[in-house]
Amino acid sequence: MRKPSYKDVSEGNTGHTEAVKITYDNRFVSYKSLCDFFWDTHDPTNKSSLNFGLSTHLRSAIFCSTEEERKQAQQSKIRRQMKLNRRILTKLSFLISDCEFFVAENQHQKYYLQKHYRLCESLSLRSTEQFVDSYIACKLNGVLALDGELILEKLPQLTRTCLLPKQCKSTCDEIIQDLKTTSAHGSTIS
């Protein structure tokens, strides 16, 4: 199958796994810290949520590019397994040299940012490719994926430190104000 659809992958018949390809500069972030972050973002021991043994679609996996990455990933897996005192189901695999990552369909790009239509529009990105590749869209999506209280902390920081279009900054300010209002009324922010 050349380029599987999300439906094909989620039905579990293609052998594909939903994954995030990370390109990093080891002068600024270590592979160990990326592995630690990986373990912190999901429960690698939960058989039911990972469809353990049933499908590759939602499995927990680290795809390593080098032997050194594989060793570091294995060491981090052992450390986390000892900390949790439970078996970790995560598979460590080498990337095949001709392995191809497929870009997710549009509705899966910058998922949290897409929930804020006006904010997306304010970025003035003219194509899906620009949206997918945008550093600012990526940063905004990451902040908007956080819990409400953290959004209130991180979104103002982002608007101060990143060069944003005027309309984008204004829309961010509106989101911040809405979250503050929700918080002031005792509602849970999410």
Residue 110 and residue 134 in one domain: yes
Domain boundary among 36, 61, 94: 94
Residue 190 lies in a domain: no
Residue 179 and residue 112 in one domain: yes
**pLDDT single digits (tens) 75-132:** 999 999 999 998 898 889 888 777 778 888 888 889 899 999 999 999 999 888 899 8
Q: Is the dihedral of CA 3, 6, 8, 12 positive or negative?
A: positive
Residue 85 and residue 116 in one domain: no
How many domains is the chain partitioned into structurally?
A: 2
Question: What predicted TM-score, i.e. pTM, was given to this entire model?
Answer: 0.68
Distance in angstroms (rounded) separating the CA atoms of residues 94 and 65: 6
Residue 73 and residue 112 in one domain: no
Residue 2 lies in a domain: no
Residue 140 lies in a domain: yes
pLDDT band at 44 (very low <50, low <70, confident <90, very high): confident
Range of the domain at 123: 106-184
**pLDDT single digits (tens) 124-160:** 998 888 998 899 999 999 999 988 888 999 999 999 9
pLDDT in the model for residue 187: 57
Which tokens is 30 given? 């270590």
CATH no. for residue 64?
A: 3.30.1060.10
